[in-house]
Structure 1
């Protein structure tokens, strides 16, 4: 057991939309991600997701609205809810996520951005 420096871990990778696992807590994984632009619309039928914005502003799109999530804030996307994370104006956003181990990156959607496993850093 030792402290994990989130800034150092974020500095260890550059690729956007490719999450990295930094820890596990029981059956949950703790993930870091860098995002820029739009992701793919998807849902996780059996898993909730928690997003914490560490840097920048996240625009979490839902079919009926968009939630603006600022630095230091979190949003929980309940299981089964279709969503599309995005950023604006070319901003790179840094995220910390909590989700169940084995959660599919893009839910049931197959896309060129889909990752089948998250590198551990």
Structure 2
């Protein structure tokens, strides 16, 4: 597991929310256990964001390779094959399902946050 970006430390009087990446802290008076929950949620969002950046980068690289090959074929007078069209359609379906699931998960998380 990655080192957490946000942590919360407190003594008997005060608390501090630390942003470990930026090496800064935010003083919080009258500390509350809900701050720890907030840190957990912030860390979850940071991790999810990093995962999405990696996935996006991989998809862009894959798309660039495929697009380059298609451009070469078109320049040489070829039309995409049926199997290529089927492959691209399956990738689009896979991509659409992935993002539908991400949006659904994100919306459910927001609902949970609002209900607390």
TM-score range, shorter chain: under 0.3
With normalisation by structure 1, the TM-score equals 0.22
Task: Pick the structure with greater CA Rg.
Answer: 2
More helix by share: 2
With normalisation by structure 2, the TM-score equals 0.23
Could you say which structure has the greater relative contact order, defined with CA pairs below 8 angstroms and 6 or more residues apart?
A: 1
